[in-house]
Structure 1
Amino acid sequence: MSLIEKLYSFIIFISVIVGIGIGQFETVRGSAEFFIVPLLVIMLYITFLQIPIADIKSSFKNLRFTSWTIIMNFVWTPILAWILAILFLSGHPALWIGFIMLMVTPCTDWYLIFTGIAKGNVALSAAILPLNLVLQIVLLPIYLLVFGGTIGVIRLSDLIESVLIVLLIPLGLSFLTKYLLQRNRQFKEKLYSYIGALPIIFLSLAIVAMFAAQGQILIDNLALLWIITVPILLFFIINFVISQKVGGLMKFNYQDKVSFSMTTLARNSPMALAIAMTAFPEEPLIALTLVIGPLLELPILTMITQMLLLLKNRTIVK
């Protein structure tokens, strides 16, 4: 885990503060929004470039693990998110949409790091990664229309346009790049070793631009931070308990159970944020929810890894 990865939550927090600060200058505030989408497209392109989507078939080697991961991530989790949104966010349509977007997009990077820290089966987790990415790209618009289409925020045309711009374009470019590099494996591996931290950098720059353009919205709605925090915390608590129970019922060993929990807990806030900024530019509170997400998620995942290691040590002692 590199230094920049360890400081991820701090970097995002600082990006928010910097964005609000420079947004006080009218010239910056007026032009910042034009940088948001290009920065996010570059961020996702580099992210997709590092994901072995062509290896998606390997996820089916452990059919039981894959099946239950799909059920947890794409059946149970959207339902849980919808229930929590009804209970806590029914009076806040923008927060509702942001929360749904955050919770229905499984992580495609961070969960591998935390799986490794908790001594889980990293290879098994990596095998499910490409499938998680493809399914969330396909299903995210459907989830938004089903669970959020009745609250008057979502326009189908904007949603389709944003998916095309910030997902399919960088995904297509990543496939093209991989094709061009397939005969030069040594250069490809060297390139990947250099670009590992770039998605965090470009995401941080996009967050700076977003809060430079819309930072006043955050200042005017600080009370909403507590409203969105409660369902986010409940999501992680409930899903952790359920993932451990399901892993036990499926008789997963410790390593596989860790992989299962991390795969079904960690969320893909950068991708959801990219969609939100392009599909809902007039609803900055949606993006605000997706910025708060990782500020809470990474400390929570850190605590969960320690809990899992504690459970492992207790099992060994017994």
Structure 2
Amino acid sequence: MTRLSKQWVQHNQVPLYAVAVVLAIGVGLGRLGASGRLEPLINPVLAVLLYVTFLEIPFVRIRRAFRNGRFMLAALGMNFLVVPAVVFGLTRLLPQEPVVLVGVFMVLLTPCIDYVITFTELAGGDAEQITAATPVLMVVQLLVLPLYLWLFMGQRVAEFIEAGPFVEAFVVIIALPLSLAWATESVAERSARGAAWQDAMEWLPVPMMGATLFVVIASQLPRVRDAIGQIAAVVPVYVAFLVIMPLLGRLAAGALGMDAGESRALLFTSVTRNSLVVLPLALALPPGYALAPAVVVTQTLVELSGMVVLTRVVPRYLVPDTVVNRGD
């Protein structure tokens, strides 16, 4: 019965996320005072989410995935060469207002390191490859985001982006959960109590993703509501990104001869963005850029809607199980 119940939660995770989003919208719009109380919870819930997510994948497979240099280079190339070119082109369609552009650039130039693992699994992709790439993607985006902001917007904006919030995010949200997950798996191999703890943690990935979505959206939705006119302009850009990047990811995977699992993983790391982790950085911007967090959260809402579609479209049409890519 326990196993069946866990399977039910896994199978119905997208509807459960939808419930969390609807509840968050209700709280965010109906209880304006909740924003200040929920905002400090963003990093803690993200850290727990990543811990239980990392626990789902045995570390022996993660170590094996690290040796796949082809996938790692492809993920880096898509996220830090192809994506910036696409984003720069798409943002030419936006009003050239720095307060809007900085939010768009911050979220679209940073690859996802959390729920990309979940959505890759839902689409039948190689989640081990995504998990192995996560620390590398986080470190590289920490280094290159100020550079791209300087290239696209000039030094006036780039100088506001400090390394501190990103370093803190890496330690709290990536390094600490990854270390604790490794320690938990090591203890579980030698201890019945440790194994029982790990088994109990298997219930949490879906509830924690729902909790994370609830906290982020409910805490930031008042910002979106108060600037809906300015933010509406970014929605078509976010939708276009969701359409363009899966196609480019599929072409790249085919050119590299990747199998179905790797192809889906490359596609999802190319399209999902780091909105949840970038949000604390956007909140740290000067008062003149107070709209940037709302621009980031808007991307989260658009992307989640797109993921519901992509988890079905990718395995059925873009990368079906019967297709093995050979670059032809």
Q: Same fold (TM over 0.5)?
A: yes
TM-superposed CA distance for 1:73, in Å, is: 1.0
Q: How does 1:152-171 map to 2 (within 5 A)?
A: 152-156=156-160, 159-171=162-174
Candidates 82, 91, 105, aligned match of 1:100: 105
- One-letter identity of the residue aligned with 1:205: V
2-structure distance, mates of 1:227, 1:181: 45
Q: How does 1:201-220 map to 2 (within 5 A)?
A: 201-211=211-221, 215=222, 217-220=223-226
- One-letter identity of the residue aligned with 1:106: P
SS at match of 1:272: helix
Q: How does 1:1-318 map to 2 (within 5 A)?
A: 1=10, 3=12, 5-23=14-32, 28=33, 32-33=35-36, 35-36=38-39, 38-49=40-51, 50-51=53-54, 58-85=64-91, 87-150=92-155, 152-156=156-160, 159-171=162-174, 173-174=176-177, 177-178=180-181, 181=184, 184-185=187-188, 186=195, 189-190=198-199, 192-196=201-205, 197-211=207-221, 215=222, 217-280=223-286, 283-308=289-314, 309-311=316-318
CA RMSD of aligned residues (A): 3.3
2-structure distance, mates of 1:222, 1:73: 29
Q: How many residues align?
A: 302
Q: Which runs of 5+ in 1 are unaligned?
A: none
2-structure distance, mates of 1:175, 1:116: 18
CA contact 2:46–2:212 (8 Å) conserved in 1: no
SS at match of 2:82: helix
- One-letter identity of the residue aligned with 2:108: M
CA contact 2:49–2:212 (8 Å) conserved in 1: no
1-structure distance, mates of 2:124, 2:84: 28
SS at match of 1:106: coil
Distance 1:145 1:226, change over 3 A: same
Distance 1:191 1:19, change over 3 A: same
- One-letter identity of the residue aligned with 2:85: I
Distance 1:60 1:171, change over 3 A: closer
2-structure distance, mates of 1:176, 1:263: 22
1-structure distance, mates of 2:200, 2:106: 31
Q: Which runs of 5+ in 2 are unaligned?
A: 1-9, 189-194, 324-328
How high is the sequence identity, in percent, across the aligned residues? 21
What do residues 114-152 of structure 1 show as CA deviations (whole Å, max 9, x unaligned)?
3334333333333333332333344334433443444x4
Q: Which has the higher relative contact order, 1 or 2, with Cα contacts under 8 A spaced 6 or more apart?
A: 1
1-structure distance, mates of 2:46, 2:266: 25
Distance 1:153 1:8, change over 3 A: farther
CA contact 1:74–1:104 (8 Å) conserved in 2: yes
1-structure distance, mates of 2:203, 2:322: 40
